[in-house]
Amino acid sequence: MTRCAGARSSRTRTRCSSPGTRNTRARYLKLVFDGHTGRLLGAQLAGLDAAQLTAPLALAMHAGLGARQLTESAFPHPMVSEGINKAARSVLS
């Protein structure tokens, strides 16, 4: 079980989420958003399948997406990329 604490500062909001699907081997996903604009600034990933998340996260950063746009995007189930949606939802809640 992955445990992590989201740190908050005036500049950034961070949240982390374990993807939580049965068939996934990625164990840690942390998304970092700008506290003022809400844009995705970066991510930290760990796990055997974590490399599969690099391209969609890089695309989201390039497009300037925020947590709300990530939660409105389609991520297939059960896939490792589903963790992106879950981590973005945790920022909005």
Active site residues: 77
Q: Alpha carbon of 21 to those of 26, 34, 55, 61: distances in Å?
A: 9, 27, 20, 24
Per-residue exposure over 46-74, b if at least 16 CB sit within 10 Å of its own CB, e if not: ebebbebbeebbeebeeeebbbeebbeee
Give the number of other Cβ atoms within 10 Å of residue 41's Cβ.
15
